[in-house]
A and B are shown apart, each in its own frame.
Chain A
């Protein structure tokens, strides 16, 4: 179902109400509008194209099945984003159970490497084009552990409070705080190293 750019778009709320009554065409339009955002969130957490497509597809199917429960307390896209985040967290937990806990991994959880890092005092991204800045952020996110990456995504991109992140990640607020702390330290230092690369 193509959207006509000349006509004012039907608001999401109206499409949701139609979809709640079983209108598949309205739901298709909602998928078309928010597909990229939902996929982007899945990709940012999983860092794998195939998994991100599968999980975002699963999120849309779940969204349809639970549509009657949607009361409109948040926007539809926020609600859908929460669904895909939960699916990604479940998937990451499954993967974590499958792989053995390495010493390096535990060390990273406790901030072993990040403790030794020098404090970044100047903004290493100043003067960068937005596209270049985003490319560097993407590169740096790729190097973080999934726990560090997830906590950054939930705090900085989803704007969730510590308490809410702890609930979603099934850990204590203290763990969220330390993960966020070390993730930020690592992020700042990675951005600094890209700056040095650029200058050399």
Chain B
């Protein structure tokens, strides 16, 4: 009898075989003497153990054991939630995004105010329509109306662009006239 057959006999003893194979093993256990002996041994080992788990005595006082559990529960519940670590690069990126936006707004404000204070729109203003934005995180949309003497720049967070695209409200962004 090879190991595969021995393991199948065991699976039969444990009721883990499908019907067809179970019948084959039952026949083998009747016809083959060594198979019968092995089945006998496996059944002895199974019978000895089932329902006879050794009893062990708990080695500590119940109160002491509970006090350790309670302390550990209280300790874990009082630990503040761990703040995720942010690398220097990520921190810089986070700071640079709003800073570059603010710088852009400030720059355009100063330029447009100086233009309007002069009370004239010269040809140079045409070139201000194209605003160069070097920020990877902040996007901008500009609009110029010669008749209304108006120049508008919308700034938006590129990360949220896809989420808010359909409900973009220009009033939420910076508007410069």
> Are A181 and B6 in contact, with the CB atoms below 8 A?
yes
Surface stretch bound by A, among B23-31, B45-53, B95-103 = B45-53
* Also in contact, A123 and B54, with CB within 8 A (given A162-B11, A177-B7, A181-B10): no
Surface stretch bound by A, among B65-73, B127-135, B137-145 = B65-73
Asked if B171 is at the interface (CB within 8 A of a chain A CB), the reply is: no
Asked if B37 is at the interface (CB within 8 A of a chain A CB), the reply is: yes
CA distance A185 to B40 in the complex (A): 11
Asked if B136 is at the interface (CB within 8 A of a chain A CB), the reply is: no
> Are B54 and A137 in contact, with the CB atoms below 8 A?
yes
* Also in contact, A137 and B37, with CB within 8 A (given A57-B72, A181-B10, A184-B42): no
Asked if A61 is at the interface (CB within 8 A of a chain B CB), the reply is: yes
Docked complex: B104-144 residues within 8 A CB-CB of A: none
> Are B16 and A161 in contact, with the CB atoms below 8 A?
yes
Within 8 Å by CB of A134, from B55, B66, B69, B73, lies B55
- Apart from A40-B56, A187-B49, A188-B45, what are 7 other A-B pairs with CB-CB below 8 Å? A24-B73, A28-B66, A40-B53, A120-B45, A123-B44, A137-B49, A181-B7
* Also in contact, A188 and B10, with CB within 8 A (given A123-B47, A134-B52): no
Interface string of A35-76 (1 = CB under 8 A from B): 110011001100001000100010011001100000000000
> Are B45 and A36 in contact, with the CB atoms below 8 A?
no
Within 8 Å by CB of B46, from A156, A162, A191, lies A156
Asked if B92 is at the interface (CB within 8 A of a chain A CB), the reply is: no
Docked complex: A18-39 residues within 8 A CB-CB of B: 24, 28, 31-32, 35-36, 39
CA distance A24 to B37 in the complex (A): 54
CA distance A129 to B6 in the complex (A): 32
* Also in contact, A135 and B14, with CB within 8 A (given A119-B38, A188-B44): no
> Are A39 and B58 in contact, with the CB atoms below 8 A?
yes
> Are A53 and B60 in contact, with the CB atoms below 8 A?
yes
Instruction: Give the residue name and chain of the B residue nearest to A32 (CB).
Output: B62
For B53, list chain A residues within 8 Å (CB): 40, 44, 134, 137, 157
A-B contact pairs, 7 of them (CB 8 A): A35-B58, A36-B56, A40-B56, A44-B54, A57-B65, A125-B48, A184-B46
CA distance A155 to B34 in the complex (A): 24
CA distance A36 to B70 in the complex (A): 17
> Are A120 and B7 in contact, with the CB atoms below 8 A?
no
Q: How far is the CB of B22 from chain A (nearest CB, A)?
A: 14
For B47, list chain A residues within 8 Å (CB): 123
Q: How far is the CB of B18 from chain A (nearest CB, A)?
A: 13
Asked if A107 is at the interface (CB within 8 A of a chain B CB), the reply is: no
Q: How far is the CB of B12 from chain A (nearest CB, A)?
A: 11
Interface string of B55-93 (1 = CB under 8 A from A): 110111010011011101100100000000000000000
Asked if A4 is at the interface (CB within 8 A of a chain B CB), the reply is: no
CA distance A36 to B105 in the complex (A): 70
For A123, list chain B residues within 8 Å (CB): 44, 47-48
> Are B48 and A137 in contact, with the CB atoms below 8 A?
yes
Asked if B41 is at the interface (CB within 8 A of a chain A CB), the reply is: yes
> Are A187 and B56 in contact, with the CB atoms below 8 A?
no
Q: How far is the CB of A75 from chain B (nearest CB, A)?
A: 17
> Are B7 and A178 in contact, with the CB atoms below 8 A?
yes
Instruction: Give the residue name and chain of the B residue nearest to A28 (CB).
Output: B66
